[in-house]
Structure 1
Amino acid sequence: MNTVKITDTELVIEPHGLDKLLSFKSGMSLPWEHVRGATQDDRIVEESKGIRGPGTRLPGKYSGTFKKDGDASFWNVGGSGSVIVVELRDEPYVRLVLSVEDPTKAVDEINAHARA
């Protein structure tokens, strides 16, 4: 699970507990100029993720960097949370795929600040 924090200048993503270790990320801060927008997509977990590294893949749990078709995505999904997808530009990742507690609130807040 992840916490999404909104500031005037950036989007902050913080993995919780063991997810920090499994994803090889303690968190990330992204300037709004690099955030294109967000959607809720619980079915994305059924897609091919690509090649993992570094990261962890367990039954029902995907954490870390996954590369597919030359693009890197950061995944931290699993458990009971719903999934959001945050589209990025000018970042090492083209998208973030994240489990969050309140996906509707997270998507609305991100889209209110994103620079599409």
Structure 2
Amino acid sequence: MARIAVDRENRLLTAEFEGLDKLWAVKSRLEIPLAHVRGATHDPGMAREPKGIRVAGTHFPGVVTAGRFRRGGERFFWSVRNPEKAVVIELADDESYDRLVIEVDDPRATVALIENALTR
């Protein structure tokens, strides 16, 4: 699971991975400028879509998907064990990833936090 935070002053979105998720994803933190964030949705169905080719990380179907993946020219970062808590964050072309698919504690509140930050 990850904690998502928005720093309005520095215009930065941060995803901080907790516990074993750091190990599975081979990353402990992502920082994305808010200018590169297009939007966020709560999308449990995303976990059923093909993951593509794993570049780095872990993939045990039905257990955990974490790390960097490529599919059809798109670059994804995954950190999901429970698909019901998956949030998809769409990023701009000049970012390292096209989409982040991240499990959070409260998907609706996380989407609202991100969308609210983008409208200000």
Report Cα offsets for 1:61-112 as digits up to 9, x if no partner.
Answer: 1000010011110000013761110000110100100111100100001011
The 1-side partners of 2:21 and 2:35 are apart by: 27
Structure 1: any 5+ residue segments left out of the alignment? none
Task: Give the letter for the 2:101 counterpart.
Answer: V
Identity percentage of aligned residues: 41
Report Cα offsets for 1:22-75 as digits up to 9, x if no partner.
Answer: 101111111110000100000110000100010100132100001001111000
* 1:96 paired to 2:100: yes
With normalisation by structure 2, the TM-score equals 0.91
Structure 2: any 5+ residue segments left out of the alignment? none
Please say if residues 13 and 29 of structure 1, whose CA atoms lie closer than 8 Å, have aligned partners that are also in contact.
yes
Runs of 4+ in structure 1 deviating by more than 4 angstroms, as ranges, are none
Who is 1:74 aligned against?
77
The 2-side partners of 1:28 and 1:98 are apart by: 11
With normalisation by structure 1, the TM-score equals 0.94
* 1:16 paired to 2:24: no
The 1-side partners of 2:83 and 2:21 are apart by: 14
Task: Give the RMSD, CA atoms, in angstroms.
Answer: 1.3
Tell me the number of residue pairs that the alignment of Structure 1 and Structure 2 aligns.
Answer: 115
